[in-house]
Chain A
Amino acid sequence: MGAYIARRLLISIPVLLGITIIVFTFTALAPGDPVDALIRPEFGNNEAMRNAIIAHYGLDQPLPVRYLRWLGGVLQGDFGFRILSGQAILGEIGRAFTASFALMGTALILGMATGIPLGVLSAVRQYSKLDFMLTGVTFLGISVPSFLLGLGGLYLVGLQWDLVPIGGMTTIGQPFDFIDFLHHLALPAVILAFGYAAIFLRYTRASMLEVINAEYVTTARSKGLPRRTVIGRHTFRNALIPIITIVGLSLPAMIGGAVVTEQVFSWPGLGQLLVDGVNERDYYLIMGITLLLAVVVLIANLLTDIAYGYADPRIRYS
Chain B
Amino acid sequence: MRIGSRIRRATAVTLSAALMLPVALASTGAVSAQDDSGGTFVAAWIGPCCLDVDTNNALAAGGDYHWWNKIYGRLFTYAVDVDRYGALTGDLATEWNVSEDGLTWTIKLREGVTWHDGTPFTANDVKFTLELCSNPTAGGCVWSFTPIVGIPEIQAGTATEASGVVVVDDLTLEITTAAPNSLLPDLLSEIFILPKHSLGEIPVDQIGASDWWTTQAIGTGPFKWSVYTPGQSIELVRFDDYWRGAPKLDGIIRRQFQDISAAIIAFEAGEIDMTYVTADEVGRLTDSGAGTIFAGPSGVNNFISVNPILNPELADPIVKQALLQAIDRQAIVDNIYGGAAELVPCLYGRKNLQGDTPMWDYDPDAAKAKLAEAGVDLSAMGEITWDTYYNDALSANVMTAIQANWAEIGLTVKLNPMEPSAWTQKWYDDGGSSMSLAGGANGPTGNRAYQYFHSSAAWPTGNNGFNGYAYSNPELDALLDAATAEFDPAAQDLVYQQACAILANDLPWINLWQSVRYHIVSNDMQNVILIPAAGGGTYYDAVETWTKTSS
Contact = CB atoms under 8 A, between A and B. Distances in A.
Contacts of B142: 43-44, 46, 49
B231 interface: yes
A264 interface: yes
A266 B421 contact: no
Interface string A147-179: 100110011001100100111111011000000
B550 interface: no
A81 B209 contact: yes
Interface string A230-270: 00000000000000000000000000000000111110100
Interface in B513-551: 534-535
B206 to A, nearest CB: 9
A168 B56 contact: no
Nearest to A281: B421
Nearest to A155: B265
A95 interface: yes
**From A84, A279, A280, residue with most partner B Cβ within 10 Å:** A84
Nearest to A171: B271
Contacts of B451: 44-45
Nearest to B59: A49
Contact of A85 (B55, B419, B421): B55
B63 A168 contact: no
B425 A33 contact: yes
Interface in A1-58: 30-33, 36-53, 55-56
A100 B457 CA distance: 46
A169 B421 CA distance: 30
B364 to A, nearest CB: 30
Contacts of B232: 168-170, 172, 266, 268
A265 B257 CA distance: 8
A92 B56 CA distance: 15
A36 B424 contact: yes
Contacts of B56: 85
Interface string B243-282: 0000000010101111101100110110100000000000
A178 B211 CA distance: 28
B368 to A, nearest CB: 32
Contacts of B235: 172-173
A128 interface: no
A272 interface: yes
A81 B461 CA distance: 27
B440 interface: yes
Contacts of A48: 134, 136, 144, 155-156
B176 to A, nearest CB: 20
B503 interface: no
A55 to B, nearest CB: 8
Contact of B420 (A30, A41, A46, A172): A41
A158 B262 CA distance: 11
B404 interface: no
B186 to A, nearest CB: 14
A77 interface: no
Contact of B269 (A55, A166, A172): A166
Interface in A164-200: 165-170, 172-173
Contacts of A151: 259, 261-262, 265
**From A151, A154, A166, A280, residue with most partner B Cβ within 10 Å:** A166
Nearest to B301: A42
Contacts of A165: 271
Interface string B357-390: 0000000000000000000000000000000010
A278 to B, nearest CB: 8
A47 B460 CA distance: 5
A37 B420 contact: yes
A112 interface: no
Contacts of B419: 32, 279
Nearest to A34: B421
B230 interface: yes
A30 B426 CA distance: 11
Nearest to B40: A173
B462 interface: yes
A260 to B, nearest CB: 9
B199 to A, nearest CB: 13
A99 B256 CA distance: 15
Contacts of A169: 232
Contacts of A172: 42, 229, 232-233, 235, 253, 255
B265 A96 contact: no
A86 interface: yes
Nearest to A32: B421
Contact of B230 (A39, A46, A49, A92): A92
B423 interface: yes
A263 to B, nearest CB: 4
Contacts of A268: 230-232, 256
A31 B421 CA distance: 7
A263 B258 contact: yes
B343 interface: no
B393 to A, nearest CB: 14
A162 to B, nearest CB: 7
Nearest to B57: A86
A189 to B, nearest CB: 16
Interface string B46-70: 0010001011110010110000000
B262 A49 contact: no
A86 to B, nearest CB: 3
A102 B448 CA distance: 48
A33 B137 CA distance: 18
Nearest to A275: B258
Contacts of A37: 420-421, 424
A87 interface: yes
Contacts of A86: 57, 139, 208-211, 213
B261 A52 contact: no
A52 B262 contact: no
B205 interface: yes
Contacts of B144: 44, 46, 48
A92 B40 CA distance: 28
8 closest Cβ contacts across the A-B interface? A268-B231, A32-B421, A86-B209, A52-B136, A166-B266, A36-B424, A263-B258, A31-B422
Interface of B: 40, 42, 48, 52, 54-57, 60, 62-63, 134, 136-144, 155-156, 205, 208-211, 213-214, 227, 229-233, 235, 251, 253, 255-259, 261-262, 265-266, 268-269, 271, 300, 389, 419-426, 428-429, 438-441, 448, 451-452, 459-463, 534-535
19 contacts: A36-B422, A36-B425, A37-B424, A38-B140, A49-B136, A52-B140, A87-B211, A155-B265, A166-B266, A167-B257, A167-B262, A168-B255, A172-B253, A262-B258, A263-B259, A264-B258, A265-B262, A266-B256, A272-B231
